[in-house]
Amino acid sequence: RRCPSFSKNNTLFELSQVYKRVLQRYGDCLLQRLPKGTNLLTSQKPGTVAIVMPEGEETVVCYVINTAEYCHETLPGLEEGLKKTLGAAFAERIDFETEKEHFSNVMTLGVLALVHGLENRMESAFSSMMKRNWTNLDEVGDQSDYVNMMASVIQTAVPKVAALLSVSYFQFFCQKLAQVIIPRFVSTIYKCRRIGEMGAQQLLLDTHAIKTVITNVPALASDPDSSQPLPGFTKYVSREMTKVEAILKVIAAPVEKLVDSYATLVDDRNLAEFEKIIALKGVKKTDHPTLVEAFSGNADAPSLSSSPSPTINLSGSNTGSNTGSNNAASTAMKRLFGIK
The set of residues, in sequence order, having a beta carbon less than 8 Å from that of 273 and lying 6+ positions away, is: 247, 266
CA 162-165-171 angle, 5° bins: 70
The pLDDT, as a whole number, for residue 47 is: 63
Q: What is the pLDDT of residue 333?
A: 44
C-alpha span between 117 and 126 (Å, rounded): 14
Which pLDDT score, from 0 to 100, does residue 43 have? 57
pLDDT tens per residue across span 86-129: 777 777 788 899 999 999 999 999 999 999 999 999 999 999 99
Reduce the secondary structure of 32-64 to three states and give it as a string.
HCCCCCHHHCCCCCCCCCCCCCCCCHHHHHHHH
CB 149 within 8 A of CB 208: no
Cα 184–chain centre separation: 7
Report the alpha-carbon distance of residue 24 to residue 309 in Å, rounded: 58
Q: Which of 72, 64, 132 is nearest to 102 (CA)?
A: 72
Q: How far apart are CA 44 and CA 53, in angstroms?
A: 18
Q: How far is CA 331 from CA 80, 211, 229, 316, 340, in A?
A: 74, 39, 50, 8, 9
pLDDT of residue 92: 77
On whether the pTM is more than 0.85, the answer is no
CA distance linking residue 118 with residue 122, whole number of Å: 7
- Helices 231-252 & 167-191 angle (0-180, nearest 10): 10
- Provide the residue count of the chain: 340
CA distance 145 to 209: 11
Q: In 3D, which of 120, 125, 131, 130 has the Cα closest to residue 146?
A: 125
Strand partners, 195: 134
Q: Is the dihedral of CA 140, 142, 144, 150 positive or negative?
A: positive
Q: Which residue blocks in 192-230 are alpha helix, DSSP H?
A: 197-215
Taking Cα atoms as reference points, which of 211, 207, 253, 204 lies closest to residue 234?
211
Q: Would you state the pLDDT for residue 25? A: 96
User: From its phi and psi, is residue 310 left (phi > 0), alpha (psi between -120 and 50) or beta?
Assistant: beta
Per-residue model confidence as pLDDT tens for the chain (340 residues):
555 555 567 888 888 889 999 999 999 999 999 998 765 555 556 666 778 898 889 999 999 999 999 999 999 998 888 888 877 777 778 889 999 999 999 999 999 999 999 999 999 999 999 999 999 888 898 999 999 999 999 999 999 999 999 999 999 999 999 999 999 999 999 999 899 989 999 999 999 999 999 999 999 998 877 777 788 999 999 999 999 999 999 999 888 888 888 888 987 777 888 888 888 888 888 888 888 888 887 654 443 333 333 332 323 334 444 444 444 444 444 444 444 4
- Do residues 233 and 175 lie in contact, with contact meaning Cβ atoms separated by under 8 Å? yes
Beta-carbon contacts of residue 136 (< 8 Å; ≥ 6 apart): 196
The C-alpha atoms of residue 14 and residue 279 are separated, in whole angstroms, by: 66
- Which of 250, 333, 265 is closest to 296 using CA atoms? 333
